[in-house]
Structure 1
């Protein structure tokens, strides 16, 4: 998203001349017109200005005389690839970003969308589990090395991180580690920098953080279980974390559970309400986190701890632990049914 988009926001009180001055002064080649509540009213491009001049529209007139009142807008939830596809289809160089109430919250430009991102943030992939629920597939192969399509799960994850501009990869191993280290090596084949930490004994989903090397970049760390397939925009996830600077950010998914019976609510012997097979909705841990350096750099070495406990400790210290809701594709390959589903889904993910 463009960092300077606020500079091209005008109100209906501004003139066509004002819009021309802004377009000439800024590199975004567009003006965004909003009302007092920041709701988007229209868009003015340099092309709109040129057409107005040819049609003898006075430069002193309100900007509303030349603006496009029905511009194409997007939500902040679109991935970089979705933005690029939409811009290609519509031959558009910029797209206003609005929230559910129609309020302007940003501007996506072609120049920013095509720019290859680059982050120094470390990525920590937890790949040491036994995968017992996937036996017999995991009797001779660690779960992250099981092939979904023509690649191991771990390679698909790696490619998605590289595509997002994240190259500093750390992998935690325990079960059959040599299969992972032999396949990926130092990551140079993929253009990545891969380092390994080995758990001699399982340390829980958070304990391996204590094995990370001392020279790891002191930046927010993305942590993910090695059995997850997702299309989440890791850049947006980091932007969210960096905006609020919590101790940690947990990715969450909505999970629906339908009770297979009629549920009765009563007062004593009196029935007050009956619901037939109601659906209960929960937010559940998606196995992905962003962890601030103050947290992951202070996890004791060789101490067992799971991530929920580690985060609860931060909450007890009055530190912020935030949720990042996922709406993108997400699959935890924990069971045979999940593995089979992944084989069908993978074509739409790569």
Structure 2
């Protein structure tokens, strides 16, 4: 099974840290954020990775290489100008193939067990949802007791930037910029999205202050 790590964004809210460093290469606990994902996906049984690049993408490829030092092959989907999440996935489909793949945002940190996304699932989309952080108190979606994800309903949880996707969801899209949320909502309307709640550690590294806080957490013995 393949996985894709989203790493093409500008990281504007992280400036000046991202003026010369792509956001996924920012470090916490002595390691780049994206390296935690690479190692966890490898240990979860993923065969190979696709990383999309945009802002300072050459630095990502130069730092991570072909994946040999991590023990997992890495391929790159170079976008130039970032295409948003769905557009980036659509551009990377030739590298991802026809089988379901795991998707992880490159600018998060979590203790979620990614091997749970490798297991076979019947739905085209399976999302991991987290407790709403202070900076996003309203959440994104509702998770039913039966494990279905809905656009409407209470209580609401936050999409954690992790999931399992069938590439057919993106195959009919034109190549170009496109957001993921409209596709997810359309799939939810067709009852095609399952989900699970991860109650453990989950960090959306959207500001330098959050990066510093995570760094302090990971530095603790």
Aligned counterpart, 1:314: 187
Partner of 2:197: 325
Q: Which residue among 89, 114, 129 is the counterpart of 1:252? A: 129
Mapping for residues 124-203 of structure 1, pairs under 5 Å:
124-203=4-83
Give, in angstroms, the shift of residue 167 of structure 1: 3.3
Match of 1:29 in 2: none
Q: Which residue of 2 aligns with 1:214?
A: 94
Q: How many residues align?
A: 202
Alpha-carbon distance between aligned partners in 2 of 1:300 and 1:210, rounded to the nearest angstrom: 8
Q: 1:165 to 1:256 in 2, by over 3 A?
A: closer
**Contact 2:7/2:52 (8 A) holds in 1:** yes
* CA distance in 2 between partners of 1:209 and 1:294 (Å): 11
Partner of 2:161: 287
Q: RCO greater where, 1 or 2, for CA within 8 Å and sep 6 or more?
A: 2
Please give the residue correspondences for 1:84-95 in structure 2 after superposition, counting only pairs within 5 Å.
none
Stretches of structure 1 lacking an aligned partner (at least 5 in a row): 1-120, 258-279
* Distance in 2 (alpha carbons) for counterparts of 1:333 and 1:216: 26
**CA separation of 1:296 and 1:348: change in aligned 2, threshold 3 A:** farther
Aligned-partner SS, 1:255: coil
Q: Give RMSD over aligned pairs.
A: 2.1
1:304 matches 2:171: no
Q: Distance in 1 between matches of 2:168 and 2:179?
A: 17
Q: Rg larger in 1 or in 2?
A: 1
Tell me the distance in 1 between the aligned counterparts of 2:95 and 2:12. Answer: 34
**SS class of match (1:283):** strand
- Does residue 3 of structure 2 align to residue 123 of structure 1? yes
Q: Which runs of 5 or more residues in structure 2 are unaligned?
A: 135-153
Matched residue of 1:154: which SS? Answer: helix
User: Aligned equivalents of 2:133 and 2:19: distance in 1?
Assistant: 32
Q: Deviations over 1:87-132 (max 9, x none)?
A: xxxxxxxxxxxxxxxxxxxxxxxxxxxxxxxxxx111111011111
Confirm or deny: 8 A CA contact 2:6 2:104 kept in the other structure. yes
Match of 1:228 in 2: 108
Q: How much does 1:172 deviate?
A: 0.6
What SS does the corresponding residue of 2:66 show, helix, strand or coil? coil
Shift of 1:152: 1.1
Whether the aligned pair in 1 keeps the contact of 2:127 and 2:164 (CA below 8 Å) is yes
Paired with 2:93 and 2:129, the residues of 1 have a C-alpha distance of 28
1:295 Cα deviation after fit? 1.6
CA contact (8 A) 1:209 1:299 kept: no
Structure 1 stretches of 4+ with a deviation exceeding 4 A read: none
3-state DSSP of counterpart to 1:166: coil
- Contact 2:6 2:51 (C-alpha < 8 Å) held by counterparts: yes
Compared CA separation, residues 183 and 222, structure 1 to 2 (3 A): same
